Amino acid sequence: MLTIACIVDDDATAFELGVAAEVFGTDRSDRGVPRNDFRVVTATPGPVRLAGGLGLPIMVEEGLEFADRADVVIVLPYDDCSDDAECSLPVARVLQRAVVRGARVLTLCTGAFVAARAGVLDGRRVATHWRHTDALAEQFPELVVDRDALWVDDGPITTSAGTAAAIDAALHIVRELQGAQVAATIARSMVVPPLRDGGQSQFAVGPVAEQRAETLAPLIDWMVEHLDQEHSVAALARRANLSERTFARRFREELGATPAAWLTSQRVQRAQALLEATDLGLDAVAQQAGFGTAALLRHHFSRQLGVSPSAYRRRFACPEPSMA
């Protein structure tokens, strides 16, 4: 179980609050997901007005004291990213104490401005919504702003890009603290990919390409069940009853990636699950995940996750209990 404190104040955004509650606060213990102690907190308990067209008020009964003992402290986005905006002193001190005691801090979208005003991002690499990267870099030149990342880890602090990237960052925290299988279970129930490829720059112009697999859903299900097999574009196109050109175009439209990139991502996720839940050797993991050899597994695993399969296993291994 994790203790999660989500800090809100007037004009916090409803969407990211919902993301935090959905990822960390929803009870999925019937599916093997640990229950967390998730609480919404504020400096002055009472009604808090959320940002957005409706301006909905919510009643927050928990003060910031809970945040001082939380494993994860979440900072929501706020509409005000101007030079003269301020971070309240109580919130700033909560964030400073969280970093000192080694808690994880997660800022969502423009929540990075709040953490920057609190002084906890100085010298760190950070992310925020692509529309606000210039403002963040100008107001806080001591930060290293990654203009493309969906989320960035630097020490105990994770910062995310805008809106939907809050889901990516929240699932990343789950993956880090509770394992890939837990993150995948939550993602599946939310109908989102457990790990999204690419950066936010692809979304700076035009709509986000969602992983929705509308017409290709039956084929996608079959591919997931047969990751250990070779899948050429020609063979997949035949199975989908499409020409190769039409298949490749439709796959990218519906999945947001090429068939090869999508398969690699799925195989890395399968390898994560096997490394966590089994004691199979790397050759066997590579075979079952569809990489064929341990060398290819290491290459793609390290490229996507920034860590070797062996190091990942040492950190996250939790073999299933024997039924004997």
Is residue 256 located within the same domain as residue 113? no
CA distances from 208 to 188, 254, 255 (A): 19, 11, 11
Is residue 16 located within the same domain as residue 133? yes
- For the beta carbon of residue 84, count every other beta carbon within 10 angstroms: 5
| Paired tokens of 290 | 């569809």
Pairing of strands 46-49, 3-7: unpaired
282-289 helix and 294-305 helix, angle to the nearest 10 degrees = 80
| Paired tokens of 218 | 């039956």
The phi-psi region of residue 155 (left if phi > 0; otherwise alpha if psi is between -120 and 50; otherwise beta) is left
What does DSSP assign to residue 26?
A: S
Is residue 37 located within the same domain as residue 181? yes
Q: Would 199 be classed as within a structural domain?
A: no
Is residue 220 located within the same domain as residue 172? no
Is residue 173 located within the same domain as residue 223? no
Residue 153's Cβ-side half-sphere holds a number of Cα atoms within 13 Å equal to: 13
Closest CA to 48 of 95, 13, 91, 5: 13
Q: Would 322 be classed as within a structural domain?
A: yes
Is residue 77 located within the same domain as residue 26? yes
Q: Would 194 be classed as within a structural domain?
A: no
Can you give the pTM of this predicted structure? 0.67
- Give the span between the Cα atoms of 105 and 118, in whole angstroms: 12
Can you give the residue range of the structural domain that contains 163?
3-189
Is residue 155 located within the same domain as residue 221? no
29 Cβ neighbours under 8 A, 6+ residues apart: 35
- Give the span between the Cα atoms of 60 and 48, in whole angstroms: 7
Q: Give the pLDDT confidence score for residue 202 in this predicted structure.
A: 38
The total of structural domains in the chain comes to 2
Per-residue pLDDT of the chain (324 residues; tens, 9 = 90+): 899 999 999 888 999 999 999 999 999 999 999 999 999 999 999 999 988 766 678 999 999 999 999 999 999 998 767 776 778 899 999 999 999 999 999 999 999 999 999 999 999 999 999 889 999 999 999 999 998 888 999 999 999 998 899 999 999 999 999 988 899 899 889 988 777 655 665 354 322 333 455 788 889 889 989 999 999 999 999 999 999 999 999 998 888 789 999 899 889 989 988 988 899 999 999 999 999 999 999 999 888 877 789 988 887 776 554 433
CATH number, residue 296: 1.10.10.60
Place of tokens 């390409």: 209
301 Cβ neighbours under 8 A, 6+ residues apart: 268, 271, 307, 308, 309, 312
- Give the span between the Cα atoms of 153 and 272, in whole angstroms: 19
CATH number, residue 141: 3.40.50.880
Q: Would 99 be classed as within a structural domain?
A: yes
Is residue 245 located within the same domain as residue 160? no
Q: Give the pLDDT confidence score for residue 204 in this predicted structure.
A: 43
Is residue 319 located within the same domain as residue 183? no
Q: Would 305 be classed as within a structural domain?
A: yes
Place of tokens 């790397």: 282
Is residue 112 located within the same domain as residue 41? yes
Beta bridge partners of 144: 125
Asked whether 12 and 51 are in contact (CB, 8 A), the reply is: yes
Place of tokens 């569809």: 290
Q: Would 260 be classed as within a structural domain?
A: yes
AA identity, residue 124: R
Q: Would 205 be classed as within a structural domain?
A: no
Q: Would 257 be classed as within a structural domain?
A: yes
